[in-house]
């Protein structure tokens, strides 16, 4: 039988778009460890979380048993402005590599914010609005999350206050201005607007900031301002839930043509895009209906899964957030200054951490010069200018496709192309000028941060 030719882009109709998010935790026999109260070391209750997070989001955060959450119509309407995102068959890349592998990527960069983060930003803004709040606070590193959240907040007419890691604030003025275009206020972190910011500045004068520090500031601002809550763009269970829209669309598109992937590859910073992409596939794996190789790719300079420990740790430098059990490098860990590829968070989503601990997913780390080499190759072959973060997945997808070539194997590879790299051209410039170097932390360095993990019994 002649097989129908798979199109370059597989799109879903509006009517085929997911109507519910899938909560992968429902199918996990051993659940991710609960968030702990940093003072009592007891699991955080909904009441304790209510000062920080929106009510509906807390329900989603704590729910380990409900498999599907209906996507409210208002959010589905917003999704329709930029979704479904295309699932692209990388014919050009396959040909250029000369591989028998079939390569697909799910492209999440087709919206103004330039990444998958908008999928959760719009959900979080919606629930904040529904609760009658005035606004939300958050942190942003490279700026994708802040951009996505500012778009979502302006859609629902919510105030949006962003603490942006100082070095990014200075190096990425364009991101900052996009956020302000959508009405957000942007403060470089650490700042003197918060107690924790002042404390960090006193202890580390001249610091260029970190994600963990910006989180502490945003949380403090939310809990001390009337009508504000804190929202987070990755790591949390609720974010993985919203991002399941990526995986559900991917699976629906593949199913249309009867395609079964052998391996699914995604970059992992806090774990939200990967957690979302793999969700329905992992569900099948957990229920024993199918098997897939799933590979998380992280930077060699911030290797939480591959070289971290599985332990309770603070989510932020200021130690104001709940404790999460995760693969972590320690909350004080900051990747070296020459690291330009994003994915800088010291920990990893507790759901992905638990799956990794159970051996259900694999992890690998890659050096940034290899990542940018893959990014440039991909841009030239497939046309899309990828975000450095996304290019971690590209690197490993290309490497796996080349392995298939060596042994003449026709594997089907799906990877997540999480965003575009237009605002990352300073990093690309370093690469082109031969000024990019690789810094891999030594075991001794990692041990210093590990020694500071909180002791939980």
Where along the sequence are the contacts to ligand PLP (CB under 6 A)? 115, 117, 144, 234, 267-273, 343, 387, 389-390, 418-419
Residue 292: which residues within 8 A CB-CB, separation 6 or more?
261, 262, 263, 264, 278, 281, 282, 284, 285
Q: How far is the CB of 378 from ligand PLP (least distance, A)?
A: 14
Q: How many other CB atoms sit within 10 Å of the CB of residue 192? A: 9
Instruction: Return the number of the residue (158 or 277) whose C-beta is nearest ligand PLP.
Output: 277
Residue 302 tokens read as: 């911030």
Which residue number places its CB atom closest to ligand PLP?
Answer: 419
- The CA distance from 144 to 149, in Å, is 9
- The CA distance from 18 to 15, in Å, is 8
- The CA distance from 142 to 165, in Å, is 8
Bridge partners, residue 267, by sequence: 297
Instruction: Return the number of the residue (178 or 343) whose C-beta is nearest ligand PLP.
Output: 343
Strands (E), 352-397: 362-366
Are the beta carbons of 295 and 396 closer than 8 angstroms?
A: yes
Instruction: Return the number of the residue (171 or 194) whose C-beta is nearest ligand PLP.
Output: 171
The sign of the torsion formed by the CA atoms of 184, 322, 271, 214 equals positive
CA triple 202-208-211, angle to 5 deg: 100
- The CA distance from 194 to 221, in Å, is 7
Q: How many other CB atoms sit within 10 Å of the CB of residue 203? A: 9
Q: How far is the CB of 420 from ligand PLP (least distance, A)?
A: 8
Closest CA to 405 of 34, 33, 95: 95
Closest CA to 106 of 267, 236, 311: 267
Instruction: Return the number of the residue (283 or 421) whose C-beta is nearest ligand PLP.
Output: 421
Q: How far is the CB of 40 from ligand PLP (least distance, A)?
A: 28
Q: How far is the CB of 113 from ligand PLP (least distance, A)?
A: 8
Q: How far is the CB of 289 from ligand PLP (least distance, A)?
A: 25
Instruction: Return the number of the residue (197 or 419) whose C-beta is nearest ligand PLP.
Output: 419
Q: How far is the CB of 387 from ligand PLP (least distance, A)?
A: 4
Q: How far is the CB of 345 from ligand PLP (least distance, A)?
A: 8
Strands (E), 236-341: 263-267, 293-299, 309-314, 323-328
Instruction: Return the number of the residue (329 or 387) whose C-beta is nearest ligand PLP.
Output: 387
Residue 39 tokens read as: 């003072």
Q: How far is the CB of 97 from ligand PLP (least distance, A)?
A: 23
Closest CA to 423 of 117, 142, 138, 121: 142
- The CA distance from 137 to 243, in Å, is 20
Are the beta carbons of 272 and 239 closer than 8 angstroms?
A: yes
Instruction: Return the number of the residue (312 or 423) whose C-beta is nearest ligand PLP.
Output: 423
Q: How far is the CB of 318 from ligand PLP (least distance, A)?
A: 21
- The CA distance from 393 to 276, in Å, is 15
Q: How far is the CB of 288 from ligand PLP (least distance, A)?
A: 27
Instruction: Return the number of the residue (99 or 113) whose C-beta is nearest ligand PLP.
Output: 113
Instruction: Return the number of the residue (169 or 194) whose C-beta is nearest ligand PLP.
Output: 169
Closest CA to 280 of 292, 271, 270, 269: 292
- The CA distance from 147 to 26, in Å, is 31
Instruction: Return the number of the residue (278 or 404) whose C-beta is nearest ligand PLP.
Output: 278
Instruction: Return the number of the residue (350 or 418) whose C-beta is nearest ligand PLP.
Output: 418
Helices first, then strands: H and E counts in the chain = 18, 15
Q: How far is the CB of 268 from ligand PLP (least distance, A)?
A: 5
């Amino acid at each position: 039988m002649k097989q129908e030719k798979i199109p370059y882009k597989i799109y879903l109709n509006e009517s085929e778009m997911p109507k519910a998010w899938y909560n992968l935790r429902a199918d996990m026999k051993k659940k991710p460890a609960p968030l702990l109260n940093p003072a009592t070391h007891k699991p955080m209750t909904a009441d304790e979380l209510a000062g920080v997070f929106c009510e509906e989001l807390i329900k989603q955060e704590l729910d380990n048993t409900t498999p599907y959450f209906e996507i409210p119509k208002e959010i589905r309407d917003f999704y329709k402005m930029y979704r479904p995102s295309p699932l692209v068959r990388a014919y050009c890349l396959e040909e250029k590599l000369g591989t028998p592998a079939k390569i697909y990527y799910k492209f999440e960069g087709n919206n103004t914010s330039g990444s998958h983060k908008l999928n959760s930003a719009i959900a979080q803004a919606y629930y904040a609005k529904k609760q009658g709040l005035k606004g939300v606070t958050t942190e942003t590193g490279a700026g994708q999350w802040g951009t996505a959240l500012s778009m979502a907040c302006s859609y629902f007419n919510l105030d949006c206050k962003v603490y942006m890691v100082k070095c990014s604030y200075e190096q990425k003025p364009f991101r900052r201005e996009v956020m302000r275009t959508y009405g957000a206020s942007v403060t470089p972190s650490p700042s003197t607007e918060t107690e924790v910011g002042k404390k960090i500045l006193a202890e580390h004068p001249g610091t260029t900031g970190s994600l963990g520090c910006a989180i502490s500031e945003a949380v403090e601002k939310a809990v001390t301002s009337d009508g504000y809550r804190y929202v987070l763009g990755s790591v949390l269970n609720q974010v993985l839930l919203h991002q399941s829209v990526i995986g559900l669309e991917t699976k629906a598109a593949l199913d249309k043509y009867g395609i079964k992937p052998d391996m699914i590859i995604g970059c992992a910073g806090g774990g939200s895009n990967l957690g979302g992409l793999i969700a329905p596939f992992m569900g099948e794996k957990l229920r024993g209906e199918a098997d897939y190789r799933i590979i998380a790719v992280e930077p060699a300079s911030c290797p939480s899964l591959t070289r971290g420990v599985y332990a309770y740790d603070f989510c932020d430098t200021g130690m104001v957030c709940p404790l999460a059990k995760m693969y972590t490098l320690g909350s004080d860990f900051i990747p070296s200054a020459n690291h330009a590829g994003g994915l800088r968070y010291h920990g990893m989503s507790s759901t992905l951490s638990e799956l990794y601990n159970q051996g259900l997913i694999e992890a690998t780390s890659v050096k940034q010069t290899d990542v940018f080499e893959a990014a440039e190759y991909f841009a030239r072959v497939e046309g899309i200018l990828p975000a450095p973060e996304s290019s971690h997945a590209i690197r490993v997808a290309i490497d796996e496709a080349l392995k298939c070539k060596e042994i003449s194997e026709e594997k089907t590879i799906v990877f997540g192309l999480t965003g575009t790299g237009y605002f990352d051209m300073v990093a690309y410039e370093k690469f082109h000028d031969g000024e990019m170097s690789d810094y891999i932390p030594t075991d001794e360095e990692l041990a210093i941060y590990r020694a500071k993990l909180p002791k939980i019994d």
